[in-house]
Chain A
Amino acid sequence: MGRTLTFKIFRYNPTKANDEPHIDTFQLEETPRLNLFTALHRIRENQAPDLMYDFVCRAGICGSCAMMINGRPTLACRTLTSDLDDTIELYPLPFFKLLGDLSVDTGVWFHDMAKRLESWIHTTKEFDPTAEEERMDNATANKIYESERCIECGCCVAACATAQVYPDFLGAAGLNRIGRFMFDPRDTRGEQEWFELVSTDIGVFGCIGMMACDDVCPKDLPLLEVFSYIRRKMNAGVKVAVTEMDLK
């Protein structure tokens, strides 16, 4: 009753002398509610013990297992084979450094992105362990959380036309992160600082608006809304800059 699935998987081990990128084909019997987490483990444990890929939580929250599944970047753990054709093509995410087969180094890229954006609360206040917490409106907390939900899987960057041309482009994940801190009243960065950070070709003006990021984001982040918020802010920023020049 079950189908026999054919997996065509990109293989390349950069640590192995004379290895060349190639495609290996595996057959696997489909079982009910089979997802790619289980399927890849079955292939590794029974057919290809050296097959490289990344899973951690296998529950769609840690962001480890993004890969190109039939040409589309998404999370492997929550992809059911029943939603796919008999032949399933798996490639690593483009853009990121390849570590081997389906495993790419998203961790280092996102760490670097956090450094570039100074992805932390900028404040001069010191924490006072004896004081009550600073109050925040719950609606504001929810708004921050909407952007904070990004799991850094890299799907948006892999799907982004600009990122493939400009490797320094911050991508939807980077812009979303900026939005997250712009929304946050605890962050004291002003419009001028934001303007310098994002009003460049690698920032918000590098985006050409194709919004593939929005199509593929596994967490359905409100990327359109965040981008337009940043653009509006930046337009305000331009006005500020012009006014300051006029004054001189």
Chain B
Amino acid sequence: MKVLTSDVLIIGAGLAGERAAIASAKAGLDVTMLSLVPPRRSHSSAAQGGMQASLGNSVKGKGDNPTVHWLDTVKGSDWGADQEVARIFADNAPIAMREMAHFGVPWNRVEAGPRDVYIKGKKTTIVEEKENEGLITARDFGGTAKWRTCYTADGTGHTVLYAMDNLAVQMGITIHDRMEALSLIHEDGVCKGAIVRSLRDGEIIAYMSKATAIATGGYGRLYGESTNAIINEGTGSWIALQTGKVPLANMEAVQFHPTGIVPTDILVTEGCRGDGGLLLDVDEYRFMPDYEPEKQELASRDVVSRRMKEHILKGKGVQSSYGEHLWLDLRHLGEKHLTTKLREVYDICMYFIGVNPIKELVPVRPTQHYSMGGIRVNKDGHAYGLKGLFALGEVACWDMHGFNRLGGNSLAETVVAGMVVGDKIASYAQAAELNANVTLAEKFGKEQTDLIEHLLTNDGTEDVYALRDEIAELLKDHVHIFRTGEGLEKAVNGLKEILGRVKNVKVKAQAPGMNPELSQALRIEGMAKQAYIIAKGALLRTESRGAHTREDYPARDDKNWLNRTLATWIEGADEPEFTYEPVGQLDLPPGDRGYGGGQMIDMDLSIADYNAKVDAEQKALGKHDTQEPMGTKIPKEAWREESPYKDAK
């Protein structure tokens, strides 16, 4: 087995992974990036609408600052976020946007003078200020007090990823694409690298490093019907879970985006509604203002998706051969807007469903979109339970999103975490020693070659694609927008049964090389186990918070559930172990979000008492010490200075 070494190994070369690789390369470290696909084909490229950062250059962003952004983020999370991490994010987002401008992103800019926009269904004229002309502008997104989402038309992920990859090429960072990490090499609680399979020729290679970072994105494809790219099958979170040491956090916190198109489940950006698009029902009636008079179509995603589903259940959905849906009306935005600022959306509608959004309504429904949960890391991005392992971006539960993330916050998170966690990875690697223990690598390598041999030669009859589809059906039927104890029990039992069948998967394709069926078979245990953790975590959490909605427990319960779910799967165990930790130190006390309605059960601890136990309880569950003590990045009660709700946007 070939053994390759570097100071830093980055698994996943989307935006988060590349930015972290750049941080290490700038620090003079030798970096290797691995990616399932060429970096520019990563799912980051598909992000359309933009990145939130409180630059406040547009007239509709006036008065914005990191505190207001932070407030929106914490409320959006339904208080599930780590407030310090949300603060680190909000403080660094403006710097990250400007840095990306420096790297070459052609951000849309402020044009001075009047222009017509649609706000809450009404055509309105706004006047951009001369003094801000040429600065990075922003559009409106859901759950925000200000227009804050920086964009390049509706190709933001694409342009930022290309600028980032250009820089990675310029710096000569090693990229090995078409490579899949199958397991982590670790010993005595320290991560030493990864066992990797080449998707070109099937070769198994050990990559050993001082620091290893996982940045592989979400697990949306577990749901089958998802806006995610087909590579988002939870491969990165699986290799962390597989160690039996690293917990996955809040896996039951799954985001459903209001506007996946029907059929195909391709996303059309929240920017559609940010720019004035409306949701209509079977009678072409605009229903959102009835449910959410204040935010209307631009409440947070969990709320809009829930309202859409609720409206469909009232019999107001549009019947189609692909199931019920609602309409997105973009017609009033006009041809010019739809063929420039929403051009990808226009193309997607035209090519994939034959709908011309200039003249016709677009069929949409809430569709699985984002994984708030993932590999649990501390504020430095350092994974619980294993030294030298880091995670960032969607695969991580860093945890600025809690139980619902705001649109535009995850794409921004990729570059902010890439900057912030990237520096922590670099400083960890600078202080660490490389110990390329070939015997250890071979032990882990053999586990994978044995598994491959088993998959190719066993006498089982299970078809990997059928199992994948069964997992997706259970999640779709029972672990979707509205959840009940009864449904979740069914999912848990069904997934348990599937887990028992995973070892009987037999790969029919025997050809050497890429072997796509073998690739799928190597992922299926991880998919089944993560689906199980999602369903079981949802069953155990007897409250409703953010995107996790229990019909049988409709209240947000801050008395019992102001915490984060951690699931660890000890090697050989039948069941994962569930534990819970405080969400982090609270600065903004739990309260009403200002949208979504819902009941609340108040916490019975004081904020001071809650905060006093955070550090010790998290450490007991595997949190490493952070480079700076807990709480240092929170400017205490800075939010009292802000009145985002006084200046309505």
Chain A residues within 8 Å of B, Cβ to Cβ: 13-16, 32-33, 35, 44-45, 49-52, 54-64, 78, 99-100, 103, 106-108, 110-111, 114-115, 118-121, 125, 127, 129, 131-138, 140-142, 144-145, 148-149, 151-152, 184, 186
Q: Could you tell me the distance between the alpha carbons of A114 and B39 in the complex, rounded to whole angstroms?
A: 13
Report A200 CB to chain B, min CB distance, Å.
21
CB pair A141–B352 under 8 Å, yes or no, is: no
Q: Could you tell me the distance between the alpha carbons of A59 and B111 in the complex, rounded to whole angstroms?
A: 31
**B383-391, B505-513, B615-623: which lies at the interface:** B505-513
Report B157 CB to chain A, min CB distance, Å.
8
Is B555 in the interface zone, CB < 8 Å from A?
no
Q: Which B residue's beta carbon lies closest to that of A107? A: B38
Is B147 in the interface zone, CB < 8 Å from A?
no
CB pair A107–B513 under 8 Å, yes or no, is: no
CB pair B108–A141 under 8 Å, yes or no, is: yes
CB pair A136–B134 under 8 Å, yes or no, is: yes
Is B109 in the interface zone, CB < 8 Å from A?
yes
Is B612 in the interface zone, CB < 8 Å from A?
no
- Going nearest first, the 7 A-B pairs with the smallest beta carbon separation are A107-B38, A135-B134, A15-B513, A50-B509, A49-B509, A144-B106, A120-B166
CB pair A32–B511 under 8 Å, yes or no, is: no
CB pair B516–A52 under 8 Å, yes or no, is: yes
Is B443 in the interface zone, CB < 8 Å from A?
no
The residues in B between 105 and 122 inclusive whose CB is less than 8 angstroms from any CB of A are 106-111
Q: Which A residue's beta carbon lies closest to that of B227? A: A59
Q: Which B residue's beta carbon lies closest to that of A187? A: B104
Can you list 7 A-B pairs, Cβ within 8 angstroms, ordered by A? A49-B517, A52-B514, A57-B45, A60-B348, A107-B178, A111-B175, A149-B158
B104's contact among A35, A118, A152, A186, by CB below 8 Å, is which?
A186
CB pair A56–B230 under 8 Å, yes or no, is: yes
A120's contact among B45, B133, B167, by CB below 8 Å, is which?
B167
Q: Could you tell me the distance between the alpha carbons of A14 and B178 in the complex, rounded to whole angstroms?
A: 16
Given contacts A50-B515, A107-B177, A107-B178, contact A135 B201 (CB under 8 A): no
Q: Which residues of B contact A186 (CB under 8 A)?
A: 102, 104
Given contacts A121-B104, A141-B107, contact A60 B231 (CB under 8 A): no
CB pair B99–A127 under 8 Å, yes or no, is: yes
Q: Could you tell me the distance between the alpha carbons of A205 and B21 in the complex, rounded to whole angstroms?
A: 37
Q: Which residues of A contact B107 (CB under 8 A)?
A: 133, 136, 141
The residues in B between 208 and 256 inclusive whose CB is less than 8 angstroms from any CB of A are 229-231
Q: Could you tell me the distance between the alpha carbons of A149 and B38 in the complex, rounded to whole angstroms?
A: 17
CB pair A148–B344 under 8 Å, yes or no, is: no
Given contacts A120-B166, A120-B169, A121-B104, contact A13 B513 (CB under 8 A): yes
Q: Which residues of B contact A148 (CB under 8 A)?
A: 106, 152, 155, 158-159, 162
CB pair A145–B515 under 8 Å, yes or no, is: no
A110's contact among B40, B46, B133, B266, by CB below 8 Å, is which?
B40
Report B462 CB to chain A, min CB distance, Å.
14
User: Residue-by-residue, is B143-181 near A (CB-CB < 8 Å gives 1, otherwise 0)?
Assistant: 000000000110100110010011101100001011000
CB pair B177–A138 under 8 Å, yes or no, is: no
B111's contact among A14, A16, A58, A138, by CB below 8 Å, is which?
A138
Is B202 in the interface zone, CB < 8 Å from A?
yes
Q: Could you tell me the distance between the alpha carbons of A131 and B95 in the complex, rounded to whole angstroms?
A: 9
Q: Which residues of B contact A134 (CB under 8 A)?
A: 101-102
Q: Which B residue's beta carbon lies closest to that of A38? A: B264
Q: Which residues of A contact B170 (CB under 8 A)?
A: 118, 120
Given contacts A58-B266, A62-B45, contact A129 B37 (CB under 8 A): no
Q: Could you tell me the distance between the alpha carbons of A186 and B136 in the complex, rounded to whole angstroms?
A: 15
Q: Could you tell me the distance between the alpha carbons of A60 and B229 in the complex, rounded to whole angstroms?
A: 11
Q: Which A residue's beta carbon lies closest to that of B351? A: A78
Q: Could you tell me the distance between the alpha carbons of A45 and B511 in the complex, rounded to whole angstroms?
A: 15
Is B487 in the interface zone, CB < 8 Å from A?
no
Q: Which residues of B contact A114 (CB under 8 A)?
A: 165-166, 169
Report A173 CB to chain B, min CB distance, Å.
12
A133's contact among B101, B231, B354, B511, by CB below 8 Å, is which?
B101
Q: Could you tell me the distance between the alpha carbons of A115 and B169 in the complex, rounded to whole angstroms?
A: 7
B512's contact among A13, A60, A107, A142, by CB below 8 Å, is which?
A13
Is B200 in the interface zone, CB < 8 Å from A?
yes
A99's contact among B200, B264, B512, by CB below 8 Å, is which?
B200
Report B68 CB to chain A, min CB distance, Å.
19
Q: Which residues of A contact B167 (CB under 8 A)?
A: 120
Most chain B Cβ neighbours within 10 Å, of A15, A16, A110: A15
Report A189 CB to chain B, min CB distance, Å.
13
The residues in B between 65 and 100 inclusive whose CB is less than 8 angstroms from any CB of A are 95, 97-99
CB pair B512–A15 under 8 Å, yes or no, is: yes
CB pair B158–A129 under 8 Å, yes or no, is: no
CB pair B41–A63 under 8 Å, yes or no, is: yes
Beyond A58-B229, A61-B158: 8 further Cβ-contacts under 8 Å?
A: A13-B511, A16-B513, A56-B229, A107-B39, A129-B99, A137-B134, A142-B153, A148-B106
Q: Could you tell me the distance between the alpha carbons of A197 and B175 in the complex, rounded to whole angstroms?
A: 25
CB pair A133–B229 under 8 Å, yes or no, is: no
Report B474 CB to chain A, min CB distance, Å.
19
Is B428 in the interface zone, CB < 8 Å from A?
no
Q: Could you tell me the distance between the alpha carbons of A38 and B102 in the complex, rounded to whole angstroms?
A: 40
CB pair B40–A152 under 8 Å, yes or no, is: yes
Report B314 CB to chain A, min CB distance, Å.
28
Q: Could you tell me the distance between the alpha carbons of A14 and B167 in the complex, rounded to whole angstroms?
A: 33
Q: Which residues of A contact B111 (CB under 8 A)?
A: 138
Q: Which A residue's beta carbon lies closest to that of B348? A: A59
Q: Which B residue's beta carbon lies closest to that of A130? A: B95
Q: Could you tell me the distance between the alpha carbons of A136 and B344 in the complex, rounded to whole angstroms?
A: 23
Q: Which residues of B contact A106 (CB under 8 A)?
A: 38
Given contacts A33-B263, A59-B46, A99-B514, contact A141 B110 (CB under 8 A): no
Is B321 in the interface zone, CB < 8 Å from A?
yes
A145's contact among B39, B153, B202, B509, by CB below 8 Å, is which?
B153
CB pair A44–B98 under 8 Å, yes or no, is: no
CB pair B177–A132 under 8 Å, yes or no, is: no
Q: Which residues of A contact B347 (CB under 8 A)?
A: 60
Q: Could you tell me the distance between the alpha carbons of A50 and B520 in the complex, rounded to whole angstroms?
A: 11
Given contacts A127-B102, A148-B162, contact A14 B109 (CB under 8 A): no
Q: Which residues of A contact B603 (CB under 8 A)?
A: none
Q: Which A residue's beta carbon lies closest to that of B97? A: A133
The residues in B between 507 and 551 inclusive whose CB is less than 8 angstroms from any CB of A are 507-517
Q: Could you tell me the distance between the alpha carbons of A100 and B178 in the complex, rounded to whole angstroms?
A: 13
Q: Which A residue's beta carbon lies closest to that of B347? A: A60
Q: Which A residue's beta carbon lies closest to that of B134? A: A135
Q: Which residues of A contact B514 (CB under 8 A)?
A: 13, 15, 52, 99-100, 103
CB pair A61–B152 under 8 Å, yes or no, is: no
Q: Which residues of A contact B231 (CB under 8 A)?
A: 56
CB pair B352–A35 under 8 Å, yes or no, is: yes
B169's contact among A119, A135, A141, by CB below 8 Å, is which?
A119
Given contacts A45-B465, A61-B45, A64-B41, contact A138 B109 (CB under 8 A): yes
